[in-house]
A = this chain, B = another copy of it.
């Protein structure tokens, strides 16, 4: 029986962040992190092990971040929690007692109920180095790869498969366009065109009927009857929260939504907190359940959880989604609602768009255009979201937009907001992307 002040269950982004934050606030506490995995993969980096990075071993969260913060870490699986006794049991037969417990059990790939989905060479995006080495091996013997799911991860897998030299890569997306949950149609189309430019076959507005083959995987059949040859299938269609441990302990959970937490990141037991992909989330704009499972949200939740362990000090807000990616030479970033998602949620919106070189003058070396779209609510004039695309600064610009969204800024406040500029580093102050997009929107309603 080991005693620890703070016990973290789970060693990915949220768990590691919770442990680091706890160390900062409680320098003298004993902190223990228990995780199943020998090596912990950086979740968002997984697509890049195929091409850009080249190996799962180069995409690990270094254990040094735990040891240098004096966090004890144990490779084992917590299989039960006794809330009353404040102890946990592990699969190796050990027990630990805790004063405060943080659950960061993460999520698992969603596996759709498609016939044939259990055939060999159908891979999910499992956070497991051994499993992913198996995927790389299978890819190296493949000419035909079919990716089911045209969200960020699916697109990044597609792009990276091409970088690895795979002959035929197809992405299948249920919605009318890839990325449509994060970007408006016009931007989705640009991204799809980039995918096509690098030889990827994009089949949006399509549904998989079955995955087939005798003994081994041979093809994917679509509901429209089309049949695609497939040596490897990769599933990238979302994740489900790992709630089993919390549910068995009697904490309030929902199988699809996750472990219930309040704004202090407390579960229904006041000594047990939760953070990351395993928690329930609500939309920043509508208060409705949100399926946002992002490492950037999980780490924010972890920081809030750790701040509150021994006294409630910090509240979290409902998250907005802030996304970014690069396909070919096109970077995009998105924060908050798209025009489409805002309308679907019942908001009356107006928007402004502006395109500008990302340095000034445009004769500066390596200048690329960046376009910004901002979406506002008509009555309150508050910013609901925005997208940036073009140059590699897109994600940073999306983070800036995300800050304005979280501070609920109005369009007129954004026009009068100050941003710095420099010839080598930003657009011209005359052509400031954010201020101009906002001004163009404002002029529509004034």
User: What is A's interface to B at a CB cutoff of 8 Å?
Assistant: 13, 16-17, 20-21, 24-25, 42, 44-45, 48, 52-53, 58-61, 65, 294-300, 303-304, 307, 313-317, 319-326, 331, 333, 335, 360-361, 363-365, 392-400, 402-404, 406-407, 409, 412, 415-426, 428-430, 432, 435, 439-440, 442-443, 446
Contacts and interface: CB of A to CB of B under 8 A. Distances in A.
A3 B446 CA distance: 25
A361 B58 contact: yes
User: Which of A295, A300, A303, A422 gathers the greatest number of chain B CB atoms within 10 Å?
Assistant: A422
A168 B297 CA distance: 52
A299 B435 contact: yes
16 contacts: A25-B446, A48-B364, A53-B364, A61-B428, A294-B429, A295-B429, A296-B429, A299-B435, A314-B412, A314-B416, A316-B416, A323-B420, A395-B425, A400-B400, A402-B420, A403-B417
Given A294-B420, A300-B417, 15 more contacts: A13-B428, A45-B360, A45-B361, A48-B364, A295-B429, A303-B435, A303-B439, A307-B446, A313-B446, A314-B412, A324-B420, A324-B422, A392-B425, A398-B420, A400-B400
A399 B420 contact: yes
Nearest to A300: B418
Nearest to A317: B416
Given A392-B425, A406-B417, A418-B297, A24 B324 contact: no
B422 A360 contact: no
A4 B319 CA distance: 50
A432 B17 CA distance: 10
A236 to B, nearest CB: 15
Nearest to A359: B45
Contacts of A412: 307, 313-314
A440 B430 CA distance: 37
Contact of A13 (B16, B417, B430): B430
A19 to B, nearest CB: 10
A361 B24 contact: no
A364 B400 contact: no
Nearest to A420: B322
What 7 pairs between A and B have smallest CB-CB spacing? A322-B420, A395-B425, A396-B396, A24-B443, A324-B422, A58-B363, A299-B429
A425 B296 contact: no
Nearest to A403: B403
B394 A425 contact: yes
